[in-house]
A and B are shown apart, each in its own frame.
Chain A
Amino acid sequence: MTTNVMIVGVGGQGSLLASKLLGHVVLSKGYDVKVSEVHGMSQRGGSVVTYVRFGDKVYSPVIDKGEADYIISFETLEAARYLPFLKPGGKVIVNAQEIDPMPVITGAAEYPEGLVDKMKEAGADVDAMDALGLASKAGSSKATNIVLMGRFSNYFKDITKEEWLKAIEECVPQKFLELNLKAFELGRSE
């Protein structure tokens, strides 16, 4: 049995740290793990996706349509974009932030309305949260990634809170540790 987690967002939002943390924590549980990242041009403000897969034996490094158990999204439109990758009834944890893509900025398109409802209609179990606000409350908007991982930890029960906290300590530079631990707590408890 393989668990498939997609972490999606806009290039530069910090999805690499989120996938690093998740990869680290599931490895410590003895799972086989694969994490697939995007580097290069797509990082420049484009739509980015990271795949994290773990289980007894993982072959493909990517998650395909209908395979994701969870989509963790840094941005609303990006959650909606990757919805066909989600299993029916799968979980979407989405930071309710809206970042206009260039076609919206230039006026060629409009930012779609009611995306959370549309995702629910399409068969997803959606938890929309103000992760950015909570991160700012923790001390920095840059900790949005850890807030989202905190929320994910509520749903994915195979890993204890202590294991998460230990993984954060091992993955985050010392000077940002307190901030990130606080962000994790806020994401988890709110």
Chain B
Amino acid sequence: MKELMLGNKAFARGLYEAGLSVASSYPGTPSTEVTEEAAKYDEIYCEWAPNEKVAMEVAFGASLAGKRSFCAMKHVGLNVAADPLFTISYTGVNAGMIICVADDAGMHSSQNEQDSRHYAIAAKVPMLEPSDSAEALEFAKRAYEISEEYDTPVFIKMCTRVAHSQSLVETSERVLPERKPYEKNIGKYVMMPGNAKRRHPVVEERTRKLIELAETSDLNRVEWGDKKLGIITSSTSYQYAKEVFGEGASILKLGLINPLPEKLIKDFASEVETLVVIEELDPIIENHCKALGLTVKGKDTFPLIDEFSQSLIAEKLGVEAKPACGAIEGLPVRPPVMCAGCPHRGMFYTLNKNKCTVMGDIGCYTLGAVAPLSAIDVTACMGASISSIHGFNKALGEESEGKTVAVIGDSTFMHSGMTGLANVAYNQSNSTVIILDNSITGMTGHQQNPTTGYNIKGDPAGKINLEALCRSMGFNRVRVVDPYDLKAADEAVKEELSAQEPSVIISRRPCALLKYVKHKPALIVDRDKCKSCRACMRLGCPAISFKEGKAHVDATLCVGCGVCKQLCAFDALKEQEEVNE
């Protein structure tokens, strides 16, 4: 029976059916659900690792031990895991090992739009790229076979539209392969120069054999149609091309995208009149074709930027656009915002009020940069807040120390904030670091982390104590504050900024969306008392707006956090209980 299944869930199903035993990942959109879904199978050990480098090394260890393993990350997570990647390519594996990397062309939920295929090429690791849920399931199985036959980790590259689209799949039973015994092999696994020198030729020979696989494998297939137009494509771009052309073009659909075939492409090119490569982001297949001496349309026709769609492909290849309803001009945009009741809001309000320079980090709280809070100056990558405030303060000294803070979430701090904090402690900059501890990994949809006390299955687990950790690094000034209490937050920020030594403020309150967080009834506006001063509007809370000249609270959004109430000088914002009295 066919089921409608999310790409990431189908991928997890494929891993399960192929006998995956150990999975370790760090959440990151659009990769997160693969590991979440795998964790629903009791036969698979799954965990959230503190970061992607750890996750990849865990998967490597499990593979070495003889069990099929897996790790998943988003494109930028692969930057973090790049260190083990390049050398695991040399050592090879024992049991099969799959690395899922999920790209986010269009940056639905990312800070850049990098193309992960470059890593496959650079690390000389094969990469498969499914175009729908059925292929995600199937390719997981194929990837393990390739991994074991060719002694290499194997990438499966997802993208937002494959990861987060549901399409039909057929499932089958789990087949657990026999455990491969671990055998000590210093020459293969200990990558010191002499051994690595002997392993590098093995890698190059492996790539040569993988090219042979690419020539003949059914992972790459030709769908003959009209031969006037020949399209080479993969992933979701294949779906768009089929949508536009159907049988009206011939398509070479690539499932194994590193290494790329040579003869297959040349033969295909020789049969068609015009050759076009349709690929999102960088011209990797196109440049390969050009290196083969082929004349091909690619990035001269299609953009390097953003995700594609069927209408984009139609337009660029001269197919008439479909008639549509007209656009209505002048509509205000609706960017994402911090939720009503978000505990980060109180802290960002405080930082804005104190005119702080704020080194930001990656998470929901990046939205603190949005007006009216506008309380983040920089966001680059995981952990950069703490490392960069140290550099900022070393460069400017007292000029910045008294007004600059770093903000970083609890999960991001565990991911790569600790090393930056060690640098502050060691090289002693007078920096103020605020850990925004909402007791969960929020942005990616509530994953547990080493500070929450629960594991991926929601069972009790080890719990790292942030206060004790910071103190043990040598911070004398570590304090906890409730960001719903604006007065306390203001005091904490002022005092720690004026202190003459590095300090950590833990701004602690659980994410308002967590199921165990009890919400209070929505606040009520006393319209007679409201003087229309708009002080409450400075919070940028989506539940508060102005209707007919007075503050208005949307009762469907308000969770009764009461932060706005603290800003009202006229006592116009009332809690339900006060009204009842």
Contacts and interface: CB of A to CB of B under 8 A. Distances in A.
Interface of A: 10-12, 23-24, 27, 32-47, 58-62, 64-67, 77-78, 80-81, 83-88, 90, 99-112, 115, 118-119, 122-124, 132, 141
Contacts of A100: 542, 545
A67 B322 CA distance: 7
10 contacts: A40-B443, A41-B366, A41-B367, A45-B337, A67-B311, A87-B325, A105-B542, A106-B371, A119-B325, A119-B328
B324 to A, nearest CB: 3
Interface in B396-428: none
A64 B541 CA distance: 32
A35 B109 CA distance: 19
B195 interface: no
Contact of A122 (B165, B328, B443): B328
B167 A34 contact: yes
A78 B331 CA distance: 9
Given A44-B364, A100-B542, 14 more contacts: A27-B168, A39-B445, A40-B29, A41-B367, A59-B243, A84-B325, A86-B324, A86-B325, A101-B334, A101-B335, A102-B337, A102-B542, A104-B545, A119-B328
Given A46-B334, A60-B239, A102-B370, A66 B321 contact: yes
Contact of B336 (A11, A84, A106, A112): A11
Nearest to A30: B2
A42 B327 CA distance: 22
Interface string B294-327: 0000000000000001110000000001111111
B335 A46 contact: yes
Nearest to A132: B556
Interface string B15-29: 000000000000001
A112 B334 CA distance: 13
A10 B239 CA distance: 28
Nearest to A92: B325
B332 A101 contact: yes
A57 B557 CA distance: 40
A90 B325 contact: yes
Given A40-B444, A99-B554, A65 B311 contact: yes
A11 B556 CA distance: 13
B372 interface: yes
A124 B325 contact: yes
Nearest to B166: A35
B326 A83 contact: yes
A61 B161 contact: yes
Interface of B: 2-4, 6, 29-30, 32-33, 108-109, 132, 161-162, 164-168, 236, 239-240, 242-243, 309-311, 321-328, 330-339, 364, 366-367, 370-372, 443-445, 534, 537, 540-542, 544-546, 554, 556-557
B130 to A, nearest CB: 12
B108 A33 contact: no
Contacts of A123: 325-326
Contacts of A107: 534, 537, 546
B165 A37 contact: yes
Contacts of B370: 102
Contacts of B338: 44-45
Of listed B331, B371, B540, residue having the most chain A CB within 10 A: B331
Nearest to A103: B332
A62 B161 contact: yes
B298 to A, nearest CB: 20
Contact of B109 (A27, A40, A81, A84): A40
Nearest to B445: A39
A12 B339 contact: yes
Nearest to A32: B168
A102 B207 CA distance: 52
The main secondary structure of chain B at its interface with chain A is: loop
A45 to B, nearest CB: 4
Contact of B165 (A11, A35, A119, A124): A35
A77 B332 contact: yes
B334 A106 contact: no
A60 B243 contact: yes
A149 B327 CA distance: 25
Contacts of B557: 99
Given A62-B309, A106-B371, A106-B537, A36 B328 contact: no
A41 B443 CA distance: 6
A72 B401 CA distance: 52
A50 to B, nearest CB: 10
Contact of A106 (B3, B109, B310, B540): B540
B261 to A, nearest CB: 23
Contact of B168 (A12, A33, A64): A33
Closest 7 CB pairs of A and B: A40-B109, A66-B324, A40-B29, A46-B336, A66-B322, A61-B165, A101-B334
A44 B335 CA distance: 9
Contacts of A44: 336-339, 364, 367, 443
A160 B482 CA distance: 53
Contacts of A36: 161, 164-166
A83 B336 contact: no
Contacts of B311: 64-67
Contacts of B236: 60-61
Contacts of B326: 83-84, 122-123
A78 B330 CA distance: 13
A111 B164 contact: no
A59 B239 contact: yes
B157 to A, nearest CB: 17
A14 to B, nearest CB: 11
Nearest to A100: B545
B470 to A, nearest CB: 28
A112 B332 contact: yes
A46 B337 contact: yes
B331 A60 contact: no
B443 A109 contact: no
A10 B328 contact: no
Contacts of A124: 325
Interface centre among B165, B236, B240, B540, by most chain A C-beta atoms within 10 angstroms, is B165
A23 to B, nearest CB: 5
A112 B445 contact: no
A59 B240 contact: yes
B165 A102 contact: no
Contact of A41 (B108, B132, B310, B556): B108
Given A59-B239, A141-B556, A118 B545 contact: no
Contacts of B542: 45, 99-100, 102, 105
A112 B331 CA distance: 7
